[in-house]
Amino acid sequence: MENEFSYETLKNKRIEKAIETCAEMFLKNGIEAVRMTDIAQNSGVGVATLYRYFGTKTGITIAAMTFLWNQMKDMLSGFFDTENYEKQNGLKQLHDLMKMYVVIYQAHPAFMKILSEFDLMLLNEKVPPEELKDYERSIVNFYPLFEKAYVTGLADGSVREVPDIKLFYVSFAHSLMELSKKLIQGELLPNDDFSIAEKELEMVIETVIYYLKKEE
């Protein structure tokens, strides 16, 4: 029994190492440029083992992107449990939450870039939703915090009432994420100017805050 446990533990650690290595290579080179043989060579896990465990490159790609989102969660965890955050009014809490999209854009441009590539891969390969459950759970979701801050704002009078707060949140969250992806990809057209990219993101946030602020 002990030998069996040791074998399973070793196997899991090797698979985890392969996923982590894959994630690092994606951040450095992009998803398409990385081959299964590259992952095998850099992780020390045989390519046959990778195919046996993940089935396809798509399988390990989903695992790697799930790993990266979980890393992002770890980075952001704890910030909104601080006393300084809690003592602010609801509107300021909402503002701080939305500013996290700018933080992610600033601190993790390589991650934002491969998100676009990953989304395109999912569409092209028609990956079934049931294969993305773990990935979906790993994605940073600020809504519970957003809803809590919204309720705080209603109570302290800093926030106006919104008919459908979940729809409101999803609308601005999608807008910020997609804008971040576009800005990370770089300028494509002659008239594109992304030198003030962060200000564009901040403008969206300030527009949302202006809408949410209760008139005095």
At 76 the pLDDT is: 79
Dump the DSSP string for 70-135.
HHHHHHHTTGGGSHHHHTS-HHHHHHHHHHHHHHHHHH-HHHHHHHHHHHHHHHHTT--GGGGHHH
Model pLDDT for residues 119-140, shown as the tens digit of each residue: 999 999 999 999 999 999 988 8
Which regions in the chain score pLDDT beneath 70? 1-11, 186-194
At CB < 8 A and 24+ separation, what contacts does 133-142 make?
A: 134/62, 134/66, 135/62, 135/65, 135/66, 135/69, 138/65, 138/66, 138/67, 138/69, 138/70, 138/73, 139/69, 140/69, 140/72, 140/73, 140/76, 140/104, 142/97, 142/100, 142/169, 142/173
At 1 the pLDDT is: 40
3-state helix vs strand vs coil in the chain, percent to 5: 75, 0, 20
H or E, element range at 37? helix 36-43
Based on its alpha-carbon atoms, the radius of gyration of the chain, rounded to whole angstroms, reads 21
Angle separating helix axes 109-124 and 2-29, nearest 10 degrees: 100
Q: Which domains does the chain have, with CATH numbers?
A: 1-55 (1.10.10), 67-212 (1.10.357)
pTM: 0.82
At 103 the pLDDT is: 86
At 5 the pLDDT is: 44
What count of other Cβ atoms lies within 10 Å of the Cβ of residue 205? 19
At 4 the pLDDT is: 44
At 7 the pLDDT is: 45
